[in-house]
Structure 1
Amino acid sequence: MKKTLVIGASTNPERYSFMAINSLLKKEHAVVAIGQKLGEVAGVKIQTKQIPFKNIHTVTLYLNQKGQRDYYNYIVGLQPKRVIFNPGTENPEFYALLGINNIKVEVACTLVLLSTNQY
Structure 2
Amino acid sequence: MKKSTLVLGASLNPARYSNMAIRKLVQSGQPTYAIGLRKGEVEGVSIETNLRLFADVHTVTLYLNPKRQEAFYNYIIHLKPKRVIFNPGTENPEFYEVLAKHHIQYEVACTLVLLSTNQY
Normalization by structure 1: what TM-score? 0.99
Aligned partner of 1:46: which letter?
I
Aligned partner of 2:112: which letter?
L
Aligned to 1:86: 87
**Which ranges of 4 or more aligned residues in structure 1 deviate by more than 6 Å?**
none
In 2, distance between residues paired with 1:49 and 1:97?
23
- Which consecutive unaligned segments of at least 5 residues does structure 2 have? none
Aligned partner of 2:57: which letter?
I
Deviation at 1:9, TM superposition (A): 0.2
- Is 1:12 the counterpart of 2:24 in the alignment? no
- Which consecutive unaligned segments of at least 5 residues does structure 1 have? none
Query: What SS does structure 1 have at the residue aligned with 2:33?
Result: strand
Aligned to 1:38: 39
In 2, distance between residues paired with 1:11 and 1:67?
18
Calculate percent identity across the aligned residue pairs: 62
Aligned 1:11-90 pairs, distance under 5 A? 11-90=12-91
Q: Summarize deviations over 1:47-96 as a string: whole Å, max 9, x none.
A: 01110100000000000001101100000000000000000000000000
Normalization by structure 2: what TM-score? 0.98
In 2, distance between residues paired with 1:39 and 1:25?
16
| Count of aligned pairs | 119
Question: What root-mean-square deviation, in Å, do the aligned CA atoms of Structure 1 and Structure 2 show?
Answer: 0.4
Aligned to 1:111: 112
In 1, distance between residues paired with 2:109 and 2:103?
18
Aligned partner of 1:76: which letter?
I
Deviation at 1:13, TM superposition (A): 0.4
Aligned to 2:103: 102
